[in-house]
Structure 1
């Protein structure tokens, strides 16, 4: 406790942020120096790496990933195994960067989401109205394995405070990327697409976040990656969108996919691969007689689905003709076909990478969890948004000591 009190009083903290997304491509590791806290936070990214997962790692996670029924023994063992595996990856990065673990103040671990169950999605009769989410990769194993105080399990406090456990980027986007000069939309194109809307704001104001909004919009890359893996076992994603670029959008299939009530639901909302998966896709194909659709056409249609989900949510939040700066991150930001579709559907918006704001797009989520850990130790709870869209003023993250 004395060490935590010391960390809170330091002018800056060196924090490693970890992120492992639904695409299961690897563990993002960002070593950051954070100065201050709250709206006055300044961040320097010292090092970043993505430690790729091998196929055996992915196979183990997929045994429980977004499945309603799993082996309880396997789930329990995987929780500890993932924590230890991530600890080894962190130590490997530190050795490569020639940084001793003792020189790092905190480790911020998102963990691996294996099931996301907002109330609107599960509708379980035993748990009406209950939001829940589950991330594996025990933080105690990370703390003991690295010797670094670890802040983990961020999403549980968000649920306890009245949220759905996602998206969490709101806090970091607001604290780090708000601008008094520009209306911004921070678009993350991960497995699930989400955005944070940031109006022009005086970042020093206590009420600066009252008009901010963060929401999921639907699938980003999750369906695209699943189809690629299904048809091309040697590939994990459609690099540069080449396969999708060779196809043609199938209007009937797109319309059937967009009939899902998620797309018409009020903002903010969250979802996951528990809903947007191959079963959802196959049901739509059966309804439209497109089970034998060429894979290139299928991918082109799914790109349009992802872009349409984003565009509909943006219009729902900001009106029919939104005109603002959009800064993209996540794997989908590297897909030129997806980015072109977004520009076509939101013609008045100006698209760029978060890199122009000093935040590398592949590192953004890991950086934001480092920021959340900084707030957990040194900050004050900040409320984002207003009314039914308000994100609670809470400190997120459980603290695990290394001894």
Structure 2
């Protein structure tokens, strides 16, 4: 038997595994690195976050990735080169993080790498009947494995596509394993570039669980800030948006898209919600001359409105769930205020209440997915479109 396969077999048979989960989102502010201890698998899974850090990207690296992100006319050579470069960069950042934590790479069982999404194309977006759902994450797992010497599981979303899903969102798989609670309905709300949530019923019936994108989280606000305020990557603490005023005409046009009428689960991305989308909405609503602050305020209301509408379509008003927030949007006071005002009877918390750093949650998710690939079995989520009962990820060996 190949010695690395033998080691992989040994890791799969452990009661506990030390797994590094990686996440690099659409904001591209850096690489989230979550060092986790995963015990058991399936419904018996226990996870403990041992260390977490976001290793920031340098401006030139970020600009390189943004040059091909969500672009139909992306330079194919640049895509090819960055697939390798991102893998090497992520390996470098992992090794730097381990050095900060005074941990030897040999102490790590597995790396779980999400990669960097550069294009997301479900049928609902591309509209080409002869083509399947598609998504592309780059940052080659073999480069990470070889550079770190650690077995790496990567490219998780392709199995989801192959089994009939849209490649996103994947949160349902990890959320169900570790955040479900008997007799308490929960919504795990992640406000990243795109806002999504997982609904976890209190009866813990996997067939009722679902995860869905609901619309833009931070992506439109971030894109607008980056375009109009060079050197800034987001509206820190919603400061600019808080000085602006909601423009109802623009908000109405922003919400005028068939995506918001589509049933759950569904996915989307910056391929739809981008500055062109905003520009068209401004032209139709005749709001091209309003101030930047008013645009940002309206974009914040847009994100909040989409989230609230999706939650209201999900919950039974007689048994309101608890909402646990994660993602960068939870740090935007204006956005959180709008959510709480719209849902005054709902209890809002962050995943800190569940002993998971909310900024680390998505990286922890991929550690959980890798743990299931190694030691678990597919969870039966019922015969529902978009939620295939599968384990995900490709195994990359360092030798």
Q: Per the shorter chain, which TM-score range? A: over 0.9
User: Residue 27 of structure 2 corresponds to which residue in structure 1?
Assistant: 23
SS at match of 1:179: coil
CA distance in 2, matches of 1:21, 1:353: 19
After superposing the two structures, state which structure 1 stretch, 245-254 or 229-238, moved more. Answer: 229-238
Name the SS for the 2:174 alignment partner.
Answer: helix
Contact 2:176 2:200 in 1 (8 A): yes
Residue matched to 1:64: 68
User: Structure 1 residue 210: deviation in Å?
Assistant: 1.3
Alignment of 1:47 onto 2:51: yes
Q: Tell whether 2:256 aligns with 1:259.
A: yes
8 Å CA contact retained: 1:18, 1:108? yes
Name 2:390's counterpart in structure 1.
394
1:172 to 166, 169, 174: 174
User: For residues 71 and 17 of structure 1, what CA distance do their matches in structure 2 show?
Assistant: 29
Residue 162 of structure 2 is aligned to residue 160 of structure 1: yes
1:291 maps to 2:295: no
Report whether the alignment pairs 1:134 with 2:136. yes
Q: Distance in 1 between matches of 2:315 and 2:360?
A: 27
Please state whether the residue corresponding to 2:208 is helix, strand or coil.
coil
Post-superposition CA distance 1:242-295 (Å, at most 9, x none): 111111110000000100110111111000000000000000001111112111
Query: Does 1:229 pair with 2:229?
Result: no
Q: CA deviation at 1:316?
A: 1.9
| Superposition CA RMSD, Å | 1.2
Q: Deviations over 1:82-105 (max 9, x none)?
A: 000000000000001011111000
Cα separation, partners in 2 of 1:283 and 1:320, compared to 1, 3 Å: farther
Structure 2 equivalent of residue 194 of structure 1: 196
Q: How does 1:87-102 map to 2 (within 5 A)?
A: 87-102=91-106
Count how many residue pairs are aligned between Structure 1 and Structure 2: 395
Question: 1:112 matched to which residue of 2?
Answer: 116
Shift of 1:166: 0.3
Task: For 1:77 and 1:233, locate their aligned partners in 2 and report how far apart those are by CA, in whole Å.
Answer: 26
- Bigger mean CA deviation after superposition, 233-242 or 14-23: 233-242
Which residue is 1:38 aligned to? Answer: 42
> Residues 8-47 of structure 1: CA distance to partner in whole angstroms, max 9, x if unpaired?
1111000000000011111000011111111111111111
* Distance in 1 (alpha carbons) for counterparts of 2:55 and 2:356: 19
Q: Encode CA deviations 1:151-172: one digit per residue, 9 max, x unaligned.
A: 0000000000110000001000
Q: 1:322 to 1:223 in 2, by over 3 A?
A: farther
Residue 306 of structure 1 is matched in structure 2 by: 303
| Maintained 8 Å contact 1:18/1:369 | yes
| Conservation of the 8 A alpha-carbon contact between 1:24 and 1:58 | yes
State the distance in 2 between where 1:135 and 1:354 align: 26
What residue number does 1:276 align with?
273
User: Per-residue displacement from partner, 1:190-226 (whole Å, max 9, x unpaired)?
Assistant: 0000000001135xxxxx3111111000000000001
Q: Is the 8 Å Cα contact of residues 19 and 109 (structure 1) preserved in structure 2?
A: yes
Please list every run of 5 or more consecutive structure 1 residues that lacks an aligned counterpart in the other structure. 203-207
1:323 aligns with 2:320: yes
Report the 3-state secondary structure (helix = DSSP H, G, I; strand = E; otherwise coil) of the residue aligned with 1:210. helix
Q: TM-score with structure 1 length normalisation?
A: 0.96
In structure 1, distance between residues paired with 2:51 and 2:312: 37
Q: Distance in 2 between matches of 1:288 and 1:119?
A: 28
- The 8 Å contact of residues 164 and 386 in structure 2, kept in 1 or not, is answered as no
CA deviation profile, 1:367-386 (whole Å, cap 9, x unmatched): 010000000011111133x4
Q: How many angstroms apart in 2 are the aligned matches of 1:78 and 1:57?
A: 10
Q: Return the alpha-carbon distance in structure 1 between the equivalents of residues 179 and 136 of structure 2.
A: 28
Q: Secondary structure in 2 aligned to 1:114?
A: strand
Q: Which runs of 5+ in 2 are unaligned?
A: none
Which residue in the other structure is 1:205 paired with? none
Query: Which residue does 2:217 correspond to in 1?
Result: 220
